[in-house]
C-alpha cells in the first residue's frame, strides 16, 4: 500500500495498511436485503410501509452481533427508511453509524421514483447503505454512477457508497435493473468492478452488495468474481422467491481479495415469523463475515 509515515524519533516506518488494521475490529459482518419497501405496485402484499418490522429485522441483527458493520438496503427510501435506519442503529449504543442514500431513476426517462410508502410521497426511492464509524474513521458519502446504455439518460444507475479514508475502506450498495435491461446490468457490473478495483489499487478494502438481478452463472456478473470473492462461496443459497414459488439467488455480498479473509457467508432464513414466512419481502437477507487481514 502506498503511504509510509515516520515513527517518533524517525527510527522506523509504519505501513498504512497496518495502521488501518489496528483501527478496525477483528471481524466485520455485512448484511444486504431488498426490503421491497418503495413500490406499492410491486410490494403491496408484503407488509408494505411497515418500516418498524422491515428495519427492525436488520437492526435486531446489529443488536445481537457487534460484528455487523455494514447494512445495505434495496428498494429503500431516503427519508422514510434511511432516516429511520440511522435512528435505530444509533440507539443500539455501540458506536455511531453513517447512513447514505442514493436516489434511483427511471432508465428510460431519467426521472426519480416516488416512495409510495412515504406519507409525504417524496421522490427519493433508491438504495441505502449504513456503515459503522470505526475507531479513528471519517466515513463520507462517495458518489458513484454507472454508464448509460442505448442512448438512455445519463446518471440513472447509481450506487450508494461510503468511503472511510483513515481506515481505507469503500463500501457500496447496488440494485441493478431487472427484466429486459441486460445491457444495463452488464455495463453497470463492469463499471462497479472497475471503480472498486481503482480503490483497491490505492490500498482500500472494498465491500459491495445488493440485488444484482442475475444468478451466479450469468456471464454478466462474472466481472465481480475478479479481484473479489463472494461471501456465499458455494453460490447455492437462494435469496429470492417468485410468486409461483421459484427460488433463485440474485443477492450478493462481495469483498475485495485484498484485506479480508472469509469466515462465512449465507442467506439468512431465520428471523421473526413474518420474515420467515416471506411476509416482509420476497427476498432474504444475505450476510458475509470476514476477518481483517493485513
For 63-100, write each residue's pLDDT tens digit.
Answer: 999 999 999 999 999 999 999 999 999 999 988 999 99
pLDDT score of 234? 82
Classify residue 224 by its DSSP letter: G
- pLDDT tens across 8-49, in order? 333 333 455 555 555 899 999 999 999 999 999 999 989 999
Asked if pLDDT for residue 205 goes beyond 90, the answer is yes
Helices (H) and strands (E) in the chain, counts: 6, 16
Beta bridge partners of residue 288, listed in sequence order = 30, 265
CA dist., res. 159 & res. 136, Å (int): 25
pLDDT of residue 38: 97
Tens of pLDDT, residues 147-194:
999 999 988 999 999 999 999 999 999 999 999 999 999 999 999 999
- Across the range 258-276, mean pLDDT stands at 97
Only one residue has cell 409510495, namely 116
Residue 21 pLDDT? 59
| Angstrom distance (rounded) from CA 53 to CA 60 | 10
pLDDT at 11: 36
Average pLDDT in the chain: 92
Tell me the HSE value of 263 on the side-chain side, using a 13 A CA sphere.
Answer: 13
Nearest to 57 by CA among 282, 276, 289: 276
The pLDDT value given to residue 17: 52
Correct CATH for 26-292 of 3.30.160.110, 3.40.640.10, 3.60.10.10, 3.40.50.620: 3.60.10.10
Q: pTM of the prediction? A: 0.92
Q: Is 87 helix (H, G, I), strand (E, B) or coil?
A: helix
Q: How far is CA 95 from CA 6, 55, 79, 99, 290, in A?
A: 30, 18, 22, 13, 20
List CB contacts of 269: < 8 A, sequence separation 6 or more: 276, 284
- The Cβ of residue 104 has, within 10 Å, a number of other Cβ atoms equal to 23
| Distances from the Cα of 165 to the Cα of 24, 138, 170, angstroms | 13, 7, 8
What does residue 233 show for φ and ψ, rounded to 5 degrees?
A: -70, -25
142 φ/ψ angles, rounded to the nearest 5 degrees: -120, 110
* pLDDT higher than threshold 70 for residue 226: yes
Amino acid at each position: 500500500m502506498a503511504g509510509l509515515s515516520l515513527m517518533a524519533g524517525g527510527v522506523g516506518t509504519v505501513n498504512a495498511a497496518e495502521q488501518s488494521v489496528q483501527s478496525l475490529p477483528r471481524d466485520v459482518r455485512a448484511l444486504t436485503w431488498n426490503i421491497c419497501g418503495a413500490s406499492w405496485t410491486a410490494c403491496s402484499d408484503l407488509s408494505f410501509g411497515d418500516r418498524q418490522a422491515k428495519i427492525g429485522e436488520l437492526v435486531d441483527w446489529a443488536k445481537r452481533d457487534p460484528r455487523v458493520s455494514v447494512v445495505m438496503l434495496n428498494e429503500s427510501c431516503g427519508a422514510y427508511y434511511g432516516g429511520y435506519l440511522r435512528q435505530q442503529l444509533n440507539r443500539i449504543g455501540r458506536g455511531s453509524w453513517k447512513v447514505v442514500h442514493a436516489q434511483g431513476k427511471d432508465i428510460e426517462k431519467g426521472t426519480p421514483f416516488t416512495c409510495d410508502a412515504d406519507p409525504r410521497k417524496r421522490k427519493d426511492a433508491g438504495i441505502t447503505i449504513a456503515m459503522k464509524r470505526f475507531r479513528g474513521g471519517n466515513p463520507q458519502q462517495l458518489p458513484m454512477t454507472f454508464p448509460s446504455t442505448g442512448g438512455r439518460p445519463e446518471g440513472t444507475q447509481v450506487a450508494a457508497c461510503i468511503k472511510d479514508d483513515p481506515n481505507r475502506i469503500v463500501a457500496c450498495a447496488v440494485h441493478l435493473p431487472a427484466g429486459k435491461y441486460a445491457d444495463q446490468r452488464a455495463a453497470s457490473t463492469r463499471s462497479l468492478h472497475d471503480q472498486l478495483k481503482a480503490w483497491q489499487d490505492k490500498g482500500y478494502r472494498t465491500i459491495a452488495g445488493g440485488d444484482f438481478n442475475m444468478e451466479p452463472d450469468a456471464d454478466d456478473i462474472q466481472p465481480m468474481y475478479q479481484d473479489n470473492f463472494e461471501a456465499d462461496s458455494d453460490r447455492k443459497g437462494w435469496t429470492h422467491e417468485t410468486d409461483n414459488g421459484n427460488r433463485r439467488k440474485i443477492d450478493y455480498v462481495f469483498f475485495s481479495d485484498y484485506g479480508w479473509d472469509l469466515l462465512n457467508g449465507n442467506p439468512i432464513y431465520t428471523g421473526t415469523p413474518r420474515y420467515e414466512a416471506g411476509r416482509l419481502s420476497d427476498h432474504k437477507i444475505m450476510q458475509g463475515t470476514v476477518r481483517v487481514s493485513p
